[in-house]
Amino acid sequence: MSEGIHVAVGVLIDDTGCVLLARRQKGTHLEGYWEFPGGKVEAGESVASALARELSEELGVSIDQTLPLMTVNHDYGEKQVLLDVHRVLSWTGEPHGAEGQPIAWVSESVLDDYRVPEANAEIMKQVKLVLASF
């Protein structure tokens, strides 16, 4: 079994109760799937720093306040991931696909229409609970 990849994941929910999803780029693992934005935690980097860096690179935003939501371990066979998921409570800037990736603000009622990687299934359950409170 190869070593796992530690990933910082951000869940951004806007004032209308829609959550941000980004589509994985062509040529990447699980291309075409939708996911919560984030990326690999580099050696010696904190999860908070990785999340801030990744959301700046991917969405062009600066995060102000986050709250740990959950962690997910998942084995894809060829790749193992540890997702360190944080709810981003506030951010500065207008999120956009800064790396050319499509993004979507998705309401709870259509969340299941978006195909997400297996590792994101547990996150989707938690996010639906959060969105149900809007």
**In the chain, where the domains are located:** 5-132
User: Quick one: how far is CA 62 from the chain centroid?
Assistant: 15
List alpha helices for the chain, DSSP H.
Answer: 47-59, 121-132
Selecting from 3.30.300.30, 3.90.79.10, 3.40.50.300, 1.10.150.120, what CATH number does the domain 5-132 have?
Answer: 3.90.79.10
Look up the pTM and report it.
0.92
Q: Is 131 exposed, middle or buried (0-12, 13-18, 19+ CB in 10 A)?
A: middle
Report how many helices (DSSP H) and strands (DSSP E) the chain contains, helices first: 2, 7
Output the six-digit token pair for 23: 């589509």
pLDDT of amino acid 3: 64
CA distance 41 to 82: 10
What pLDDT does 19 receive?
A: 97
CB-CB contact of 109 with 19 (8 Å):
no
- The pLDDT tens digits for 41-95 are 999 999 999 999 999 999 999 999 999 999 999 988 888 999 999 999 999 999 9
